[in-house]
């Protein structure tokens, strides 16, 4: 029993370290940082690297039509999912409101705006050509006179902008869809001079920090996928002072919170440079493809896509598997995906995410019922050996080596495996951590209510499963259930362990106070079911003992 207690304490302490590491690393500044990049001015990206390779340009074209610049104006793109405002003077976003997501819980709360006035100042979706911000140094016009697009479900529409930047003719064709949050773009860059020109094009996105709650569960950050591996930087001080830079096979890069993402998906993912900074609380990311050499009259066609919207895993997966990795499901991602599928399955029938979490908890508990029963049986055997253990420890208290030998001989005599009670706990840990990450990153839980008002009152209670319990009722009850579980279990023989076990409910209660209430709900229900099972096993053992 003593060895089992040691292992249990080790597991619990590991859990505390894993959950609390984020706090400590953030406070002490230990997080691993990507390579820094120099700070950029508001209208200019950081210095671009030397070209890694020259790509073959298209053949020389016929003389271009005369370009006539026009004053910039706002173009509205209205779809069932969002309302975007694009500035014709360069194609940068002025606004991008998500119609299905609100900032707060109130019915009149404003819609989430992926490009608010602060982030609009740095021109997200604006092109940087040869280090020049095209929206401020170029001249632009539109081929047609429409004021935007109005798209119904299933429709697509394209805005075509023509501009001159650094003596280069630039044509942007931006295609919007009413079925998802992906913006596809084709870009033509034409050398209008009589000399060969090198061309570097960077794509930009930006998001204000208000898109995140600001706590460790929903922090704003710069993120990117480098050859299938998710990288991110959330330290505001690092992004503000030096920024970050990465070069490689970049599938996407952008600014994101736990629930929303503004990202660039380059058409050519090889030898791409990513640069990220934070300026005036706005997170900016630039993605630059390889440099191209264009002869006189030659042109280059580029393709790029942008995702501006919520991080719904199924919708991201439909775009690319790499983009779906922006929803970080952690080391046990395979288990997390399966649990999310079950959670969504239950929600289809109960239409309440809190009830879905409860049903999922019951299912998990039922699946591990035989293992847990075996663990309780082992604990009962160890309980019977407690008097003998006490005698051995008292007799050989000055001879640790002989004490261990006697204890092992006792186990062998009675056919008891001291680790058998903890093996089921170890097997269940991957499931817990998988569910922990799944619930933590699932946008479905954002603003998802369980019990909106405290019963009998008009006080908001579990109205948002993605945030903490505002009244701290569920974490306190969870701590009480842990205390009750301890009272039902045989006590440790070592006084130090007894003190540690006594304080564990308090430690867990303090730890869970700021946990998203969906996670606390899972742990609370799991504890209640464990108490019920433990009570059943105790009655069974007593009945068997009486029968004998």
Question: E strands along 108-181, which residues?
Answer: 111-113, 127-129, 132-133, 139-142, 148-150, 156-165, 168-177
| pLDDT tens profile 344-384 | 999 999 999 999 999 999 999 898 888 777 777 777 777 77
The reported pLDDT for the residue numbered 494 is 60
Place of tokens 């430690």: 507
Task: Of 242, 236, 241, give the one whose Cα is nearest residue 282.
Answer: 236
Pairing, β 74-78 against β 148-150 = parallel
- Both tokens of 218, joined, read 């929903």
The reported pLDDT for the residue numbered 39 is 38
Q: What is the CATH classification number for the domain harbouring 92?
A: 2.70.98.90
Strand order in the sheet with 299-310: 139-142, 156-165, 168-177, 182-191, 299-310, 260-266, 250-256, 221-226, 229-233
Please indicate, yes or no, whether residues 280 and 376 belong to a single structural domain of this protein. no
CA–chain centroid gap for 265, Å, is 18
Please indicate, yes or no, whether residues 266 and 355 belong to a single structural domain of this protein. no
Q: What is the mean pLDDT of residues 409-438?
A: 77
> Has residue 48 been placed in a domain?
no
Domain boundary among 278, 304, 328: 328
The reported pLDDT for the residue numbered 488 is 76
Please indicate, yes or no, whether residues 323 and 362 belong to a single structural domain of this protein. no
Please indicate, yes or no, whether residues 309 and 395 belong to a single structural domain of this protein. no
Q: Which domain holds residue 508?
A: 337-547
Domain boundary among 298, 328, 358: 328
Q: How far apart are CA 16 and CA 3, in angstroms?
A: 20
> Has residue 33 been placed in a domain?
no
Please indicate, yes or no, whether residues 264 and 166 belong to a single structural domain of this protein. yes
> Has residue 23 been placed in a domain?
no
What average pLDDT does the chain have?
A: 84
The residue ranking higher by pLDDT, 185 or 236, is 185
> Has residue 10 been placed in a domain?
no
Which of 108-117, 173-182, 310-319, 394-403 has the weakest average pLDDT? 394-403
Label residue 423 by pLDDT band (50, 70, 90). Answer: low
The reported pLDDT for the residue numbered 35 is 46
Domain boundary among 328, 356, 376: 328
Q: How far apart are CA 176 and CA 163, in angstroms?
A: 20
The residue ranking higher by pLDDT, 35 or 524, is 524
Q: How far apart are CA 139 and CA 164, in angstroms?
A: 5
Which of 275-284, 450-459, 497-506 has the weakest average pLDDT? 497-506
| pLDDT tens profile 47-67 | 333 333 334 444 444 456 666
Q: How far apart are CA 265 and CA 129, in angstroms?
A: 17
Start-to-end Cα distance in the chain:
24
Q: What is the mean pLDDT of residues 197-204?
A: 94
Q: What is the mean pLDDT of residues 242-262?
A: 95
- Both tokens of 278, joined, read 């934070």
> Has residue 69 been placed in a domain?
no
Contact 502, 335 (CB under 8 A): no
| pLDDT tens profile 27-51 | 444 443 444 443 343 344 333 333 3
Strand order in the sheet with 272-279: 132-133, 127-129, 201-208, 282-288, 272-279, 244-248
Number of compact structural domains in the chain: 2
> Got the DSSP string for 278-332?
EETTEEEEEEE---EEE-TT-EEEEEEEEEEEE--HHHHHHH-HHHHTTS---TT
Please indicate, yes or no, whether residues 346 and 303 belong to a single structural domain of this protein. no
């Amino acid at each position: 029993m003593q060895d089992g207690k040691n292992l249990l304490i080790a597991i619990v302490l590991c859990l505390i370290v894993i959950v609390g590491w984020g706090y400590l690393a953030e406070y002490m500044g230990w997080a691993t940082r990507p390579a820094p990049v120099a700070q950029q001015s508001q209208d200019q990206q950081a210095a671009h690297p030397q070209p890694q390779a020259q790509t073959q340009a298209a053949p020389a074209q016929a003389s271009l039509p005369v370009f006539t610049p026009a004053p910039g104006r706002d173009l509205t793109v209205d779809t069932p999912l969002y309302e975007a405002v694009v500035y014709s003077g360069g194609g940068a976003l002025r606004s991008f409101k998500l119609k299905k997501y609100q900032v707060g819980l109130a019915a009149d709360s404003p819609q989430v705006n992926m490009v608010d006035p602060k982030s609009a100042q740095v021109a997200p979706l604006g092109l940087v050509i040869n280090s020049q911000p095209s929206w401020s140094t170029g001249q632009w016009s539109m081929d047609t006179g429409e004021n935007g697009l109005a798209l119904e479900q299933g429709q697509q529409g394209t805005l075509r902008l023509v501009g001159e930047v650094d003596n280069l003719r630039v044509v942007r064709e931006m295609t919007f869809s009413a079925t998802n949050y992906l913006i596809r773009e084709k870009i033509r860059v034409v050398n209008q001079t009589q000399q060969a020109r090198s061309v570097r094009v960077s794509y930009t996105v930006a998001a204000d920090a208000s898109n995140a709650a600001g706590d460790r569960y929903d922090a704003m950050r710069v993120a990117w996928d480098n050859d299938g591996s998710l990288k991110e930087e959330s330290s505001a001080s690092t992004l503000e002072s030096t920024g970050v830079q990465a070069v490689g096979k970049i599938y996407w890069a952008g600014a994101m919170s736990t629930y929303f993402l503004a990202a660039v998906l380059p058409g050519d993912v090889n030898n791409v440079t990513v640069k990220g900074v934070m300026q005036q609380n706005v997170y900016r990311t630039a993605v630059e493809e390889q440099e191209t050499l264009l002869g006189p009259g030659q042109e280059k066609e580029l393709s790029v896509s942008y995702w501006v919207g919520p991080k719904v895993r199924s919708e991201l997966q439909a775009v690319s598997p790499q983009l779906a990795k922006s929803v970080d499901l952690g080391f046990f991602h395979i288990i997390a995906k399966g649990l999310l599928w079950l959670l969504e399955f239950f929600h289809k029938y109960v239409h309440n995410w809190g009830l879905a979490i409860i049903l999922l908890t019951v299912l998990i508990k039922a699946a591990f019922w035989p293992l847990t029963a075996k663990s309780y049986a082992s604990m009962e055997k160890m309980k019977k050996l407690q008097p003998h253990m006490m005698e051995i420890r008292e007799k050989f208290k000055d001879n640790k080596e002989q004490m261990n030998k006697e204890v092992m001989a006792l186990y062998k005599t009675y056919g008891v495996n001291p680790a058998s009670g903890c093996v089921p706990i170890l097997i269940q840990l991957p499931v817990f951590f998988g569910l922990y990450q799944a619930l933590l990153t699932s946008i479905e839980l954002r603003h998802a209510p369980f019990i909106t008002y405290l019963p009998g009152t008009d006080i908001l209670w579990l109205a948002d499963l993605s945030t903490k319990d505002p009244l701290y009722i569920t974490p306190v009850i969870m701590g009480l259930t842990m205390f009750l579980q301890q009272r039902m279990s045989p006590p440790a023989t070592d006084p130090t362990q007894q003190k540690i076990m006594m304080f564990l409910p308090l430690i867990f209660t303090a730890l869970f106070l700021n946990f998203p209430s969906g996670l606390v709900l899972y742990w609370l229900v799991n504890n209640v079911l464990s108490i019920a099972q433990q009570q059943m096993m105790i009655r069974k053992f007593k009945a068997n003992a009486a029968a004998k």
